[in-house]
C-alpha cells in the first residue's frame, strides 16, 4: 500500500511538471490597459483617459529632462 502511495505521488509530480508546450508571453500592464481602453466594457473610458494622462505626463517629463540636460552643457 505504501509503495502504491509513493508511486502515485511520483506520477502526479511528473504530470504537474510537464508543460503542454510554449506558454504565451504574459501581457505587460500597458498592453493589458490598452486592450481594456479599446473595449466596450464599462469603465473603458476611464482607463482610456488615465492612459492619455499618463502619456502626457511622460511626454512632459521627457521635455523637461531634455531642457535640463541642455542647460547642463
Section 40-54 average pLDDT: 93
pLDDT digits (tens, 9 = 90+) for 10-36: 877 777 767 666 767 778 888 998 999
Residue 33 to residue 48: CA distance in whole angstroms: 8
pTM, 2 dp: 0.56
pLDDT of residue 47 exceeding 90, the answer is yes
**pLDDT band of 58, cuts 50, 70, 90:** very high
Quote the radius of gyration of the chain (alpha carbons, Å).
25
Q: Can you read off the three cell numbers belonging to residue 2?
A: 505504501
Instruction: With CA atoms as reference, report the closest residue to 36 among 57, 21, 28, 59.
Output: 28
User: Where exactly are the structural domains of the chain?
Assistant: 28-73
> What's the pLDDT at 68?
87
Amino acid at each position: 500500500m505504501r509503495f502504491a502511495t509513493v508511486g502515485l505521488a511520483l506520477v502526479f509530480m511528473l504530470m504537474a511538471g510537464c508543460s503542454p508546450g510554449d506558454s504565451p508571453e504574459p501581457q505587460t500592464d500597458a498592453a493589458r490597459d490598452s486592450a481594456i481602453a479599446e473595449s466596450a466594457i464599462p469603465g473603458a473610458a476611464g482607463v482610456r483617459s488615465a492612459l492619455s494622462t499618463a502619456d502626457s505626463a511622460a511626454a512632459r517629463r521627457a521635455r523637461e529632462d531634455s531642457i535640463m540636460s541642455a542647460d547642463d552643457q
